Amino acid sequence: MDLIAKGLTFKPEEEYHLNNISFGMRKGELYTLLGRTLSGKTTLLKTIAGLITPDEGRVLFDGVDLGKVPVWERNIAMVYQQFINYPHLTVFDNVAFPLRQRKMDAKNITDRVSSALEMVGLHGYAERKIQALSGGQQQRVALARSLAKEAGILLLDEPLVNLDYKLREQLREEFRNIFSSDIASETILIYSSTDPLEAMQLGGEIIVLDEAKVIQQGPGHEIFENPANTRVAEISNDPAMNLLNGIIGDGKIQLGAEMVLPLPDHFRKLSPGDYIFGLRASDMALAGKGISFTVELSEISGSETYLHVAGGEHKLVGLLDMVRNFNAGETVKLSLDIGKLYAFDTAGDLVSSPFGRGR
């Protein structure tokens, strides 16, 4: 491993911001920190950058303890959520600024700046002033400045969160191309996000953070297919995976007095007893002979409809591949795809998934 975190702990007041976090990362790889707001993502990035000193633990890069390296000497670049540019400078001068601080020769600066601007799609913009750029272009300038440093570690703290949806989609695709380019072959890329779809689309490994702890690390498909526990299942899905308390017994699943489901094949080896069952919103559908639910809220989003329903003691969210208005209080019948059910024990740990993982 080229970057190793060992037991990082930071508790400035009453609550942990980092709680005994350990992981390893390799050069040429992308890692996405996925977690909700206040889960510890930004604190972890700032700790790696040297902007926060942990109470305990160490960060090693190529075997060197970064805690003993001054911030300005660390081979690290960071792109912030609130992108930072110098409004009185041109695009070229913004990107060149850290290189001039290093007293790099003029030709090398020009070569690096030109290459970085080309990479982020700003070729021909070098002499423009920052005020003449759109928000997306200004974020590209901030990214180009970090790329031009050719740092060993590139930290990106939710860099797209303040942009509109269409622009986020466009830049996310560009980021994927940049992350797979030659410039990233010797760089560790660490990207933070609250959006599970974004984390999956970027590729690479995902580190799921919750309440200042790492609760799962692995390739994106592994996180999606086999969430280690109910917290990962909620965080790695949007909307969060539906979780329902129930019982396995007599060859069926009992989810309350009026909700009974057949036992799927991948649950056959589970012992009778209490479980927490998980089902994604997209694994529900309208069905004439389905289970009756009462509509609490419906939301149309593009070509899809989010349907919030209640049935007995359970509340669920369904994601329907259609545009349709539902009235609050209306009764609908929904089928639940039992072949896509997850089972977690009462402590919340995965015991069976549709993809064959579990205890």
pLDDT of residue 83: 75
Token couple for 11: 């508790």
In which band, very low, low, confident or very high, does the pLDDT at 168 lie, cut at 50, 70 and 90? confident
The pLDDT score that the predictor gives to residue 121 is 83
3-state secondary structure of 26: coil
* Residue 273 main-chain phi, psi, to 5 deg: 150, -170
Return the domain boundaries, the chain.
Answer: 3-228, 242-352
Within 10 angstroms of residue 185's Cβ, the number of other Cβ atoms is 10
| 128 secondary structure, DSSP code | S
On the question of a cis peptide bond just before residue 239, with omega within 30 degrees of 0, the verdict is yes
Residue 337 pLDDT level (bands cut at 50, 70, 90): very high
Percent of the chain surpassing pLDDT 90: 68
pLDDT tens digits for range 215-236: 999 999 999 999 999 999 999 9
Residue 86 is predicted with a pLDDT of 86
Q: Which fold has domain 3-228?
A: Rossmann fold (3.40.50)
End-to-end CA distance of the chain: 29
Residues in the chain: 359
Report the pLDDT value the prediction gives residue 159, as an integer from 0 to 100. 84
Q: How far apart are CA 57 and CA 26, in angstroms?
A: 19
Predicted local confidence at residue 176, as pLDDT: 77
pLDDT score, position 359: 52
Query: CA-based angle 330:324:283, to the nearest 5?
Result: 85
Predicted confidence at residue 59, as pLDDT, reads: 96
**134, pLDDT greater than 90:** no
Q: Is the pTM of this model over 0.85?
A: yes
Whole-number Å distance between alpha carbons of 218 and 227: 10
CB neighbourhood size of 272 (10 A): 10
List Cβ neighbours of 166 (8 Å cut-off, separation of 6 or more).
none
pLDDT value of position 182: 64
More confident residue, 313 or 329: 329
Q: What is the DSSP string of 314-347?
A: EEEEEEESS-----TT-EEEEEE-GGG-EEE-TT
Q: Which CATH number fits domain 242-352: 3.30.1330.10, 1.10.10.410, 2.40.360.20, 2.40.50.140?
A: 2.40.50.140
Is residue 302 predicted with pLDDT exceeding 70?
A: yes
Provide the token pair at 18: 């980092």
Mean residue pLDDT across the chain: 91
